[in-house]
């Protein structure tokens, strides 16, 4: 069955609601990345109130996706969410600590685009 490419009316609100309601699919890729990068699922989930969409990819391969900045305790992370509006869920594709060589000091703006 083909997935819908519907873009959420308010992507940030959609992502936050899905995370708060635990309507989340954790991809194999993100599970491997989180382990290797020592980022816990709790850090991704507990930082939901600090989420900020910093990049949008409406034409991403499978579903529209959004790069989100989050503050998890004392550290900052980026989380890539794919949004499945029709299925009313998000997929966490990857999460990482932003590299200051690639991001301006606010960690929300890429140095080169």
Contact at 8 Å (CB) between 3 and 63? yes
Task: Give the chain's domain count.
Answer: 1
pLDDT band at 1 (very low <50, low <70, confident <90, very high): very low
Contact at 8 Å (CB) between 103 and 110? yes
Residue count (the chain) = 113
Through-space distance between the first and last CA atoms of the chain, rounded to whole angstroms: 34
Q: What is the CATH number of the domain that holds 62?
A: 3.30.2310
| Average pLDDT value for residue range 23-39 | 93
Q: Is residue 101 part of a domain?
A: no
Q: Is residue 107 part of a domain?
A: no
Percent of residues, the chain, with pLDDT higher than 70: 96
Q: Is residue 46 part of a domain?
A: yes
| Average pLDDT value for residue range 22-32 | 93
Q: Is residue 56 part of a domain?
A: yes
Q: Is residue 85 part of a domain?
A: yes
Maximal CA-CA distance, the chain = 43
d(Cα 94, Cα 92) in Å, to the nearest integer?
Answer: 6
Structural domain including 67 reads 11-96
Q: Is residue 19 part of a domain?
A: yes
pLDDT band at 109 (very low <50, low <70, confident <90, very high): very high
Q: Is residue 36 part of a domain?
A: yes
């Amino acid at each position: 069955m083909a997935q819908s490419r519907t873009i959420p009316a308010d992507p940030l609100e959609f992502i936050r609601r899905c995370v708060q309601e635990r309507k989340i699919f954790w991809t194999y890729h993100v599970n491997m990345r989180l382990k290797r990068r020592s980022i816990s699922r709790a850090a991704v989930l507990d930082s939901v109130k600090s989420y900020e969409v910093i990049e949008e990819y409406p034409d991403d391969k499978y579903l529209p996706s959004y790069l989100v900045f989050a503050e998890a305790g004392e550290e900052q992370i980026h989380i890539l969410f794919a949004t499945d509006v029709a299925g009313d869920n998000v997929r966490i594709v990857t999460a990482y600590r932003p590299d200051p060589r690639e991001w301006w000091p606010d960690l929300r703006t890429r140095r080169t685009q």
